[in-house]
Amino acid sequence: MAVLPVQLIPPTFPEGYCPPSLQQFANDLQSGTQLSSGISLDTLVIADTAPADHSKAWFKTVGGIVTAASKLFVWSTALSLWVAPNPEQDLSARRLWAGALGAGAGALNEYDGGSTAAVGPATGPMWEEDPTFVGRSPMHPGIIPTANPAKTLTVGEDYGEGAHLMTAQEVAPHNHALSADASITNVNGSIKTVTTGAGGPGLAIGLTAPPSTDLAVVPNAFTTTQQAMPVIHPVRGIYVIRRTARIFYVS
C-alpha cells in the first residue's frame, strides 16, 4: 500500500476548555486538526483516473478511497505508461508459493500485479519458479553436523542425495545361510565339491577339514540387483519463487 508523506497536527485548546458533550469535543478536534505535507498538490493528482498532465505524479484511488492497491504512479516517457516500481527489487530474494504455476486467476503469472506476457520492464510476470530448488529442500548454510566427513554448506551449493546405493564399507556385518543339494563329487580321491541349491546365497565358502574330506563349494549361478534405499526426510511440496526482470506495476 502506498503511503503519502503527510502529518496530522492536532489543535491546541485554550486553558480551561471544557466541551459540553463528547460530540462537541469530536467536532472541535476534527475542525482544528491541520494537515501538513511536503508534497504540493500542484505536482500531485489524487484520483481514480490518470491525469492528462504527465508532468504530475498520480496517486491512484478506488472510488475516491485509498486501498491496498493504491500506488503512486509517474509517467514513463520511455514506456508511454503510468508506472510504479515494485518495492521488491532485490533479485536474490525468494518466496514460497503454494498456488499454481502458469496463467489464470490465482496463478503465479498474475501474482503481485504480473501478467501473462513476455517479461519486460513493465510486462509479464513479476515472479517465477526458481528451478534450482526442484526436488530439493532449502538448508541454512554452515556446518552440517551429521555429515561424515564433515561438510560446510555454502549459499547456492547443492548437496545430498534422494536415494543412496550402499558401498561394501557401509554394509553392517551379517551372516548368510548356505543351502546345498545332495550332490557331492570326489575329486582326486580327497577333494569333494558341494553345489549349492537354487536360491542359495551364491557365496564361495572354504571349509577346513582333514585332507580326505576337504570341501570346495561351487555356487550356482544367479542374478541379484542392488537397490538404492531412500534417504529423503519428510517433506511437503511447495514452490520456491524469485523475482523476474520486470520492474514496474502499470495502470
State the SS3 of the chain.
Answer: CCCCCEEEECCCCCCCCCCCCHHHHHHHHHHHCEEEECCCCCCEEEECCCCCCCCCEEEECECCECCCCCCEEEEECCCCEEEEECCCCCCCCEEEECCCCCCCCCCHHHHHHCCCCCCECCECCCEEECHHHCCCCCCCCEEECCCCCCEEECCCCCCCCCEECCCHHHCCCCCCCCCCCCCEEEECCCEEEEECCCCCCCCCCEECCCHHHEEEEECCCCCCCCCCEECCCCCCCCEEEEECCCCEEEC
> Residue 114 has which C-alpha cell?
504480473
Backbone angles phi, psi at 242, to 5 degrees: -135, 160
Residue whose C-alpha is closest to residue 203's, from 183, 161, 175: 175
| Look-up of cell digits 511437503 | 236
pLDDT, one tens digit per residue, over 93-106 is 999 999 999 988 88
- Residue 79 corresponds to which amino acid? L
Domain boundaries, the chain: 1-70, 91-158+238-251
pLDDT, one tens digit per residue, over 63-82 is 888 888 889 999 999 999 99
pTM: 0.63
Return per-residue pLDDT of the chain as tens, 251 residues.
345 567 788 999 999 999 999 999 999 999 999 877 666 667 889 999 999 999 999 999 988 888 888 899 999 999 999 999 999 989 899 999 999 999 888 899 999 999 999 999 999 999 999 999 999 999 999 999 888 888 999 999 999 888 888 888 888 887 766 655 545 555 555 444 555 455 444 444 444 444 444 445 555 555 567 788 888 888 899 999 999 999 999 98
| Look-up of cell digits 519458479 | 129
Q: Which residues, 6 or more positions from 137, have their beta carbon under 8 angstroms from its beta carbon?
A: 233, 235
For the chain, the distance separating the N- and C-terminal CA atoms, rounded to the nearest angstrom, is 15
Contact 104, 36 (CB under 8 A): no
- Whole-number Å distance between alpha carbons of 140 and 231: 19
- Whole-number Å distance between alpha carbons of 70 and 66: 6
